[in-house]
Amino acid sequence: MSSARVGLTLVSLACADPTATSSLPAALPAPGSKQQDNSYSISGADRTVNVTVVRVRGETGEPIHAFLRRMFESADSAGARRLVLDLRSLTGSDARLVTPLVGGILKRDRFLREGGLNVLTSSQSFSPAQNAATLLEQYAHPILIQ
């Protein structure tokens, strides 16, 4: 696992700061809905973090790395035990999502245990979503749902 972290560190040094927007919804959107912003919510009952990534880059709003940092800090504060990552709405962009997302997950052992990570993709998920899902499958062993 340390070689993966070293590799992610090197990749992160090569990445420029991306941009995206964020908000905090009560729950994950239904498949096919047109959510505009990246979002997350934390269920207090089962300590599950539900994250929806809609875009990696945008003209205004919070950079994706800042959004993910804020989400992971909130998850840590809440003692989250499970992460549900919805990448179904991410249909294009670049790979700037991969380093902060995969690196943040690999730093948290509770998301690496069996059932600790669920990743939702669709047949419409491209570039950053597929790159992230592939790396997570290799290093974090999530439950992949399509």
Model confidence at 107: pLDDT above 90: yes
- In angstroms, the CA 136 to CA 139 distance is 5
pLDDT of residue 49: 97
Mean pLDDT of the chain, nearest integer? 78
Report whether 96 contacts 58 (CB < 8 A).
Answer: no
pLDDT of residue 44: 86
Please tell me the least confidently modeled range out of 70-84, 85-99, 105-119: 85-99
Burial class (CB in 10 A: 0-12, 13-18, 19+), 18: buried
pLDDT of residue 73: 97
pLDDT of residue 1: 55
pLDDT of residue 16: 39
The model's pLDDT over 63-87, given as tens digits with 9 standing for 90+, comes to 889 999 999 999 999 999 999 999 8
pLDDT of residue 15: 46
SS3 state at 129? helix
